[in-house]
Structure 1
Amino acid sequence: MCTRVMRSVPGEPIVVGRNMDYHCDTGTNLWVLPRGVDRTDGVGGSLAWTAKYGSLIASGYDLMSVDGLNEAGLAGHILWLTESDYGTYDAARPALSMAVWLQYFLDTCATVAEAVAWIEATDVQVVPLADPGTGRVPAVHLALDDATGDSAIVEYLDGKARVWHDRGYAVMTNSPPYGEQLELVKRFAGLGGADVLPGTTLAADRFARATYYGERLPPAASPVDAVAGMFSVIRNAAQPFRIPEDGKPEVSQTIWQTVTDLTNLRYVFASTTRPNVIWVDLGSADLAEGASARRLDLVSGGDFVGNVTTEFVDSAPMQFLTLAS
C-alpha cells in the first residue's frame, strides 16, 4: 500500500512524507552508502555503474532500497501498485532488478529531470523479484522528488515505463494507476467536486485526503515546522493496526513513516511500533569514496532517539537481491 506526499512552497524547505504500509515486517534498517561504490543491475545484464552520489536509504530485509535520499537532494519512494506490468524480461533491453531500481537513481542522478531523461533515453526495464519476507513477487511503482521541487511518478504498464513528470504531482498512493487517480480526486469538495472528503483507508480515499490536507498546511516558520506539518498529513493517511478481514487475510497497516527535508538533507524516521522519532543529517555523514558503508540496526530494537547521524556502525557493503539469488 503506502502514501507519499510532497510540499514545495517558496521560502520554505521542500519536504516529502511517506507511509510504509505492509501486512508484515519488512526488516527495515537505515544505511549510509558512500559514493564511489561499483554496482550492477542485479539481472546479469550489461548495466553497471559507479555511485556518483552518496545516499541514505531505508532497506527492505537489508536486500533492497525502498526509500531514500542522496547528497544532491534527490529522494525516491517505492510504493505498491497492483496493476504494474513489467513485461517479459528482455535481455536486449537495459534492465534493473526491482531491488536496485531506486538505488540506481540515488547513485547516479542529482535531479528528477535527469532521472526522467535517462528512463526515456534507455527504455529501461524493471525486473520483479520475490519478496524475501513472503516469497511473493511485489508490484510497485516509484516516486522521485528533488530539492528544486520537481516530482515524477514512474509506473510500468504493459511492459513499458509511463512517467508522470510535473511539479504539481505531489501525492501518490496505490491503485488505480496515476492518471486515473488524478481524475478520481476531482470528485471531492475542495478539489473540484462536491462529494464529501472520504475517510476510508482505500488508496483513492487516501489520495484525496493527502491532496486536500497537503494543500492546506499553514506556512512553516522553520524546518522543524515543515517536518511537523508533513507528519500531520501522512498520519491522516495512515492505516491503523487491525485484525484481518474476510477476504483480506493480509490487510496492510502503516509500519513506519518518513519525512525527508530535501532542502536541508534531513531524513526523519518514525516506527509505528516504537515511541521515538529519529533523524539523520545526511550532510554530516561520511559519504566519501572509500568510506565504509554504515548501518543503523533498527530490527534488533535499539533504543534510538533524536539525531542518530553518529550512531551508524561500519558494515560490509549492502548486498542487493539479484535475479540469480
Structure 2
Amino acid sequence: MFRSFVRQGIVAAASFSMAAAPVAANACTSFVLAAQDGSYVYGRTMEFSMPLHSQLMVIPRNHAFTGTGPDGTAGAGLSWTSKYGAAGANALGLNILVDGMNEKGLGGGMLYLPNYAEFQDVAPGEAKNSIASIELLTWILTNFATIDEVKENLPKIKVNKAPQETFKMPVPLHVTLHDLQGKSLVIEYVGGKLNMYDNPIGTLTNAPEFPWHLANLGLYGNLSPNEPPARKIGGESFAGPSTGAGMHGIPGDFLSPSRFIRATMFADSLPPLATGLDAMDAARHILDNFDIPPGAIRTEAGSDVGGGVAGWETTEWSAVADLKRGIYAIWDYKNPNPRALIFSELDLDAKDIRTVSFEVKADFVNLSK
C-alpha cells in the first residue's frame, strides 16, 4: 500500500512545499488499523503544554445542543439534538468531544493545525447555522453514521471564527474520521474554505495541510520492513550490522511530517491482524512510539504551539477505539493501564451528559511471590 503513493513528480512537489511550509511541533498522531474480522481500530495521541484536564464523556441520544455564535456567545449558534449516542474524551471541562466515536462506529478526533486553519466568515443572518471549531467533532459524531453522510451534510453549515475563552482565539484544528465501511476522511478549513479529503492511508498528524503530507510520502519510497541484501563492492560483501536496515532513514524526530511518515509505515507494515482485539494491541504498541517524554519539546508563552503557554509538551493521553465492537479505551501520562467505555454497557438514553474521570493512580503489580 505504501509504495502505491510514489507517483511521478510527487517528490519534487513535496520538496518544494517543505521548503516553504512552517512546521510546528504540536505532536498529536493518529491512524487506523483494519482487522480480518471486519474491525477497524482508530488510535491517537494527545499532546499539549497546557493541561487539558480531559475526562471521559458519554453523550446520550436526544440531547439538545446549541452551538457558539461567531462572536463567541454561547447559545447563539446552531441548535441540534443528538441522533446517536457518542463517547470519548473532552477537554477543559467543556461538553465537547475532542476525540471519540459513536454507537454506529463512526470515530475520530480533532488535531491541532496552527498557522493553517482559518474558519469561515459568517454573516449575522447565518449565525444560527454555525458552530465554533471546537464543536465540530461533537456535531459530527452525534448526527452521522458514515463518512458519506458527513461529506453530504457538512457543507450545509458554517464553522465560524468564534474565539475560545481559554485560547483567546478560534482553536486551529483539523479533523480525522473513520467509519465501519473502511472509509477515512480529513476535514480542514484553510483560507476560510472547507476542504474534505478522502484519506487512503488513514494517518493524520498536524501541520502542514493533509495534501502536503501525502506528497511528502514520496520522499520515503525506499523504506521497507524487508532486510536489504548485502552490498557487494570490490568483490566484498557488506551486510548491515543488525536487522532493521530496511527502515534505515525513517525520520525519528517529533515534527508532524516525521510522525506522519512513521505512523504510516508502522501501520502499513503490520502482519495480518485477525480480530479487533489484535488491532487494539497493535495500535497501543504503535502509539508507544509517539510518547513524548518531558523535556523533549519546550514551548514558549505567546507562541502558536502547545496552547500558547510556556512549558514542556508531553503526551497527555492516548486512546484506541474499536469501531466495530464499540470500545473506547484511554490511558494517560501517569498510568499506562487502559480505562475503557464499552458502548453495550452505556446508558445512551440517559437524560444528560455523563463525565467520568480517568485519573486512576498507577500501581506496581507485585509478582515477587
Bin the TM-score by the shorter chain: 0.7 to 0.9
Verify: 1:293 aligned to 2:326, yes or no: no
- In 1, distance between residues paired with 2:288 and 2:93? 26
Q: Which runs of 5+ in 1 are unaligned?
A: 306-325
Number of the residue aligned with 2:315: 254
Query: SS at 1:6's partner residue?
Result: strand
Asked whether 1:49 is paired with 2:83, we answer no
Q: Relative to total residues, which structure has the larger helix share, 1 or 2?
A: 2
In the TM superposition, 1:92-103 aligns within 5 A as: 92-93=125-126, 94-103=129-138
1:10 to partner: Cα distance? 4.2
State the match for 1:16 in structure 2. 42
- Residue 174 of structure 1 aligns to a residue in which SS? coil
* Most deviating of 61-70 and 9-18: 9-18
State the alpha-carbon separation in 2 of the partners of residues 90 and 213 from structure 1.
45
Which shows bigger deviation, 38-47 or 10-19?
Answer: 38-47
**Once the 2 structures are TM-superposed, how far is the Cα of residue 55 of structure 1 from its aligned partner?**
0.9
Query: Are the aligned partners of 1:39 and 1:48 in contact in 2 as well (CA < 8 Å)?
Result: yes
* 8 Å contact kept, 1:45–1:91: no
**Normalising by the residue count of structure 1, what TM-score does the alignment of the two structures yield?**
0.84
Contact 1:128 1:137 in 2 (8 A): yes
For the pair shown, the structure with the greater C-alpha radius of gyration is 2
For 2:101 and 2:58, the matched residues in 1 are separated by 10
Cα distance in 1 between the residues matched to 2:223 and 2:145: 32
Q: Percent identity?
A: 26
CA distance 1:191–1:162, change in 2 (3 Å): farther
**Cα distance, 1:75 vs structure 2:** 1.0
2-structure distance, mates of 1:31, 1:177: 29
Q: 1:225, 1:109 → 2: CA distance?
A: 27
Letter in 1 for 2:138: Q
Q: Which runs of 5+ in 2 are unaligned?
A: 1-25, 70-74, 225-246, 304-309, 364-369
Question: How many residues are paired up?
Answer: 299
Residues 242-294 of structure 1 show CA distances to partners (whole Å, capped at 9, x for unaligned) of 16548684452211000000010100101022242111111221101x54432
Root-mean-square deviation over aligned CA pairs: 2.6
**Secondary structure at 2:213's aligned position in 1?**
helix
* Contact 1:12–1:220 under 8 Å retained in 2: no
> CA contact under 8 A between 1:188 and 1:195: conserved in structure 2?
no
Alpha-carbon separation, structure 2, partners of 1:66 and 1:230: 19
Of the candidates 254, 258, 267, which is equivalent to residue 205 of structure 1?
A: 258
Q: Give the Å deviation of 1:35.
A: 0.3
Shift of 1:95: 1.3
Indicate how the Cα distance of structure 1 residues 304 and 287 shifts in structure 2: closer, same or farther if over 3 A, else same.
farther
Aligned partners of 2:162 and 2:201: how far apart in 1? 25
Match of 1:129 among 144, 149, 163: 163
State the match for 1:235 in structure 2.
288
- Take 1:8 and 1:244, find their aligned partners in 2: how far apart are those partners? 32
Equivalent position of 1:313 in the other structure: none
Q: How does 1:17-32 map to 2 (within 5 A)?
A: 17-32=43-58
Which one-letter code corresponds to 2:141 in the other structure? Answer: L
**CA 1:304–1:244 in structure 2 vs 1: closer, same or farther (change >3 Å)?**
closer
Question: Aligned runs of 1:119-268 on 2, under 5 Å?
Answer: 119-120=154-155, 122=156, 124-130=158-164, 132=166, 135=168, 137-166=170-199, 168-190=200-222, 196-242=249-295, 245=298, 249-268=310-329
Does 1:114 find its partner at 2:149? yes
Inter-partner Cα distance in structure 2 for 1:33 and 1:246: 34
CA contact (8 A) 1:189 1:195 kept: no
**For the structure 1 residues 303 and 140, does the alpha-carbon distance in structure 2 shift closer, same or farther, using more than 3 Å as the test?**
same
Number of the residue aligned with 2:229 = none
Q: How does 1:305-316 map to 2 (within 5 A)?
A: none
Deviations 1:199-222 (A, max 9, x none): 000000000000001001122233
Q: Which residue number corresponds to residue 3 of structure 2? A: none
Distance in 2 (alpha carbons) for counterparts of 1:185 and 1:131: 37
Contact 1:4 1:19 in 2 (8 A): yes
Residue 189 of structure 1, CA deviation: 3.9
Identify which range, 143-152 or 249-258, moves more after superposition.
249-258
Deviations 1:66-95 (A, max 9, x none): 011111111120100011011444334431
Give 1:238 deviation, angstroms.
3.0
Mapped contact 1:199–1:205 kept (Cα < 8 A) = yes
**Aligned residue number for residue 102 of structure 2:** 70
SS in 2 for 1:127: coil
2:29 and 2:45 in contact (8 A); partners too = yes
Change (3 A) 1:126 1:217: farther
